[in-house]
Amino acid sequence: SFFTCRPLLTKFAFSLYRTTILTQGGIVAIIRVYRDTDCFNTKTNAWEKRTEIAYYAASHLHSAKVFAKVIRNHWGTENRNHYVRDVTLREDASRIRRNPGIFARLRSFTLNILRKNKITNVSEALYDNALSFDNLIAHTGIL
């Protein structure tokens, strides 16, 4: 990937539209979120501003504050779980074809043990534990 992005926390716009047109599927609201991010372009070696617009459909009507919290929580889960799996554990690059579910559960077990031990930098913890079996065994929840 040529871009690394970081959110600009000061820029977050949120619009909520109540709809009576899209009643199919129980949709009662359309949510539009503007996100401004800084993306590092490795070709130009500079940070560039980028604006994204995301749309969400809701089957329940809540306040804009509630929707904003739900959307941010979703991305918190994405960053905490899926991003770590994809980038640090290279799950998407895995070429395991036989019983991939077993290895997915081993990766989940690894993340659960590290999180139970209040590890925030998974990459560093994997490196440290690979170098020292004593570090690995010292974690709560292994034995």
Tens of pLDDT along 126-140? 888 888 778 777 777
pLDDT at 29: 78
What integer is the mean pLDDT of 66-92? 82
Angle (CA) 45-48-51 rounded to 5° is 155
pTM: 0.51
Of 10 and 119, the one with more pLDDT: 119
